[in-house]
Amino acid sequence: MQYWNALKIIQQVAAELGLPQPVALPALGDVQSNQLVALLNSAGNELLMYYPWEQFVKHWNFVTVDGRESYAVPMDLAYFVDQTQWDSTNRKPLLGPKSPQEWAWLKSGTVATAPRMRYRIADNKLKLLPVPGATPLAIDMEYMSCNWVAPVDELGTQNMINIGTDIALYHPWMLVKFIKMKFYELKGFDTTSVRADFLRLFNSLTGKDKGGAKLSLSPQFPPMFIGPWSVPDGSWDVGVAP
């Protein structure tokens, strides 16, 4: 999909609203265009929390250090993807996230250690129990990045539109419709039609963002570990009895 830069998005919104189209952003002295940019920033950051868009899924991995319980989370973290936290060294999922009460019990209760690694998110850090020892462990997980803007002349991404050439990493027509809805809300207009217009496209895109799984009326999920069920059906030569 071809993403649009901020100027093109604002020009399209302004044209649909019957407003003058800016030729550059930021538009000095143009209160209306700058207001639309503010609505674009609001829309981009809100949409990130409404759905786990595939373009913002990132992978985070690190190796534990002897005696260190806490590890700083990525700077662009919006939220973690549930059930992706793994101890790759031992090929086992981490248990958690643990509540403050569970964490206090694990640290101070009768049973202070356990064979499986537990985790908790607190103070912008991922905390592990039992505290890793001398044997380094590879910890892997996925998270959603809060950076939805790509500056055209710079490496990396950011979470705010600053100039007209900044590229918004969303479907452009969804942003156009969302900004229009926000504009109507801000001005106190009837939002019935623009809200329905936005929701139709939003629901359509969330249904197509990652594709759809095959559905079954009687789903049976296979165990994640290797066992007799891992051997396919067939006729196998087991040798001749003595």
Based on the domain organization, do 23 and 60 belong to the same domain?
no
In tens, the pLDDT along 120-179 reads 999 999 999 999 999 999 999 999 999 999 998 878 899 999 999 999 999 999 999 999
Based on the domain organization, do 39 and 58 belong to the same domain?
no
Is 223 a domain residue? Answer: no
Based on the domain organization, do 30 and 66 belong to the same domain?
no
State pTM to two decimals.
Answer: 0.83
Mean pLDDT confidence for 74-89: 96
- 206 and 42 Cβ atoms separated by less than 8 Å: no
Indicate if the alpha-carbon torsion angle 73, 74, 78, 80 is positive or negative. Answer: negative
Is 64 a domain residue? Answer: yes
pLDDT of residue 112 exceeding 60, the answer is no
Based on the domain organization, do 59 and 138 belong to the same domain?
yes
Based on the domain organization, do 87 and 125 belong to the same domain?
yes
Between 217 and 242, the more confident residue is 217
User: Which one of 107, 129, 145 terminates a domain?
Assistant: 145
Taking alpha carbons only, the member of 209, 192, 215, 162 closest to residue 26 is: 162
Is 217 a domain residue? Answer: no
Based on the domain organization, do 39 and 63 belong to the same domain?
no
Is 165 a domain residue? Answer: no
> Looking at residue 218, what is its pLDDT?
72
User: Alpha-carbon distance 116 to 12, whole Å?
Assistant: 54
Based on the domain organization, do 42 and 110 belong to the same domain?
no
* Domain count within the chain: 2
Residue range of the domain that includes 102: 54-145
Is 162 a domain residue? Answer: no
Is 176 a domain residue? Answer: yes
* Two tokens, residue 13: 């919104």
> Looking at residue 229, what is its pLDDT?
66
Based on the domain organization, do 49 and 12 belong to the same domain?
yes
Is 215 a domain residue? Answer: no
Is 184 a domain residue? Answer: yes
